[in-house]
Amino acid sequence: MTTASPQRYKMRIAYDGTSYAGWQLQPNALTVQEVVEKALATVCGERPRLHGSGRTDQGVHARAQVSHFDLGRAVPTRRTMVSLNAVLPPDIRVLGLTRAAADFHARRSARGKEYRYFIWNDEVLPPFIRCYRAHIRKPLDVSLMREAARQLVGRHDFAAFSANPNREVETTVRQVTELRVTRRGSEITIAARGEGFLYKMVRSLAGFLIRVGEGAVPPAHARDILASRERTARVPTAPASGLFLWKVWY
């Protein structure tokens, strides 16, 4: 500890979301935010409020969630990170901790995000990846999924690909800069990049692309669904286990 002036910190966190009710604090459920805030209180002697780059739902994972918090004094970042990881449970890890400018905000300062959705497309799901892949037994046609994905790239009203967040949303228009579908053996990955995403939007995009890959919905329906602005059975919400918050850009 070198000064007595307030200091803002930027923290990068990875977590396995299987055992948590999401990122955001909740009154009657264990969340990632709560666990990390308690660890900060143990290590730093004060419990700051964490502000994340975005919320993740129950069972969703993060490779690189970014958050910020303020302390009443400066602390050594390397030593603090090591101490935090010593008291955190093994399914949460601090990957980076740095001082930040006073006006840095984990959510408002973000320029873009990438989520990745992982599918295991085979008859049998290996047990050791059951919490990290959506299991789809029916063969998926990746070429059809790619055709549909191309129609969803760009700036659109994604109301039909979101769920009610039970809070005010200023606009349902979002910019999707990339929606990439790749296959390697039994594993299919959907990578979604954009300026930001609506509540359950990535899981909805994944659910729609899975339906297209199964042959249940033609790829051309992507534009019709966008134009309708109405949620239908053609856009199911894919399971949480396959989703990872992959990267945040600043």
Model pLDDT for residues 204-230, shown as the tens digit of each residue: 999 999 999 999 999 999 999 999 999
Separation between Cα atoms, residue 30 and residue 47, nearest integer Å: 17
Q: Please give the span between the terminal C-alpha atoms of the chain, in angstroms, as a whole number.
A: 28
Domain count within the chain: 2
Spatial neighbors of 104 by CB under 8 A, at least 6 apart, are 8, 10, 68
Residue 165 has pLDDT above 90, yes or no: no
Q: Token pair for residue 149? A: 């994905």
Average pLDDT over residues 79-104: 98
pLDDT digits (tens, 9 = 90+) for 171-203: 999 999 999 999 999 999 999 999 999 999 999
Answer yes or no: do 55 and 178 share one domain. Answer: no
Q: What is the CATH number of the domain that holds 237?
A: 3.30.70.660
Does a structural domain hold residue 106? no
Does a structural domain hold residue 108? no
Catalytic residue among 57, 91, 122, 141: 57
Answer yes or no: do 168 and 94 share one domain. Answer: no
Handedness of CA 59, 60, 62, 65 (dihedral sign): negative
Q: Token pair for residue 140? A: 């998926």
Looking at the DSSP bridge assignments, the partners of residue 93 are: 14
Average pLDDT over residues 2-21: 90
Per-residue confidence (pLDDT) for residue 1, from 0 to 100: 45
Residue 2 has pLDDT above 70, yes or no: no
Q: What is the DSSP secondary structure assignment for residue 129, as one 8-state letter?
A: G
Other C-beta atoms lying within 10 Å of the C-beta of residue 176: 22
Q: What is the CATH number of the domain that holds 57?
A: 3.30.70.580
Is 57 part of the annotated catalytic residue set? yes
Enter the pTM of the model: 0.94
Domain boundary among 100, 125, 150: 100
Q: Token pair for residue 141? A: 């046609």
User: CB–CB of 106/51 below 8 Å?
Assistant: yes
Answer yes or no: do 71 and 35 share one domain. Answer: yes
Range of the domain at 212: 114-249
pLDDT digits (tens, 9 = 90+) for 13-72: 999 999 999 999 999 999 999 999 999 999 999 999 999 999 999 999 999 999 999 999
Does a structural domain hold residue 238? yes
Separation between Cα atoms, residue 148 and residue 210, nearest integer Å: 10
Answer yes or no: do 13 and 73 share one domain. Answer: yes
Average pLDDT for the chain: 95
Separation between Cα atoms, residue 186 and residue 126, nearest integer Å: 11
